[in-house]
Amino acid sequence: MRTHRTTGVIVSTALVGALAFGTAGTAFASPDVAPTGTFTGRTAPAAPDPAALLAQVTSLGNVGAVLTPVTDLVKAVLAAPGNKLSAEDATKHADAVKAAIAAAKAPAAPAAVPAAPAAPAVPAAPAVPAVPAVPAVPAAPAVPAVPEAPAVPALPAVPAVPGLPTHGVSAADRSAPRAADVAGDALAGLQTAVDNLLKAATAGDVPGVLTGALATVTGLVNFLVATVLGGALPAPDLPGLPKLPALPTLPVPLPPLPLNGLPG
């Protein structure tokens, strides 16, 4: 079977065009640059609160401010001949520790708020036309006096209810949540330990110095742990560290009340 010459030319031309456009179509369908901005279904984390970050940094700064003078005191006492400090050195260390503890107890200053921009001047309001005078209202007739109600007899006084035993727990301890100021309690205990250490150091009491130094270091550790657990700091994320416990925030539990002496 013979093919017409014109038909062969047309078929050859169509075949070449199909191959050429087919290659171009594959190139257009497979670009080298991957599409960007694909949606993954995840939302960006919320930005941290500047006020909360300021409070966290302040609490950490208080730790360093207390740590330095207390450790300087303990090192000075343990390195002094006979573990005895002069009155001048004892006063210098005592003043430094008291100032650091007072600064740690002081509340953090709030962050400065930028001044609001000045409001634009309000244009003057147009003059209000004068309101015509309202005619006088005739006087209302006098209302007859209401007769005085008879006096209500006084009710007898309610007898006082006897108080329940508190077992040595005050009303403030029962109502206020405990562990609200654990760091403050730790600072108070640290100040007491420092006072005892200075007293033993100025008297040359070596056993008292060793006991006071241990109590001071323990009080410093208490303050550090109280700051980490109760200072609203971010949780550590270093692999291998155990999870930190949380401080209790419930009120102090009351002991069971005896019911055998109550009427009924």
> What is the reported pLDDT for 264?
52
Q: What is the pLDDT of residues 4-50, one digit of tens each?
A: 555 454 445 554 454 444 544 444 444 444 455 555 555 666 777 88
Phi-psi region of 26 (alpha: psi -120 to 50; beta: other; left: phi over 0): alpha
CATH class of 57-105+181-233: mainly alpha
- What type of residue is 100? A
CA distance 166 to 169: 5
Q: pLDDT tier at 75 (50, 70, 90 boundaries)? A: very high
Longest Cα–Cα distance of the chain, Å, equals 136
Q: Which range has highest mean pLDDT (70-84, 140-154, 233-247)?
A: 70-84
- pLDDT higher than 80, residue 191: yes
Q: What percent of the chain has pLDDT over 70?
A: 61
CA distance 77 to 71: 10
The mean per-residue pLDDT over the stretch 114-134 comes to 72
Instruction: Name 212's Cβ contacts closer than 8 Å, sequence gap at least 6.
Output: 193, 196, 197, 198, 199, 200, 201
- pLDDT higher than 60, residue 129: yes
Q: pLDDT tier at 116 (50, 70, 90 boundaries)? A: low
CA distance 61 to 65: 6
Mean of the per-residue pLDDT values of the chain: 74
Q: What is the pLDDT of residues 92-108, one digit of tens each?
A: 999 999 999 999 888 75
CA distance 94 to 195: 8
CA distance 168 to 170: 6
CA distance 85 to 205: 11
Q: Cβ–Cβ contacts within 10 Å for residue 8, how many?
A: 11
CA distance 202 to 86: 6
> What is the reported pLDDT for 85?
94
Question: Could you tell me how far CA 68 lies from the centroid of its own chain?
Answer: 25
Q: What percent of the chain has pLDDT over 90?
A: 30
CA distance 106 to 181: 12
Q: What is the pLDDT of residues 209-245, one digit of tens each?
A: 999 999 999 999 999 998 888 767 787 888 888 877 7
Please, what is the Cα angle at 249 between 244 and 251, to 5 degrees?
150
The mean per-residue pLDDT over the stretch 78-84 comes to 94
> What is the reported pLDDT for 16?
47
pTM: 0.53
The pair phi, psi for residue 177, each rounded to 5°, is: -70, 135
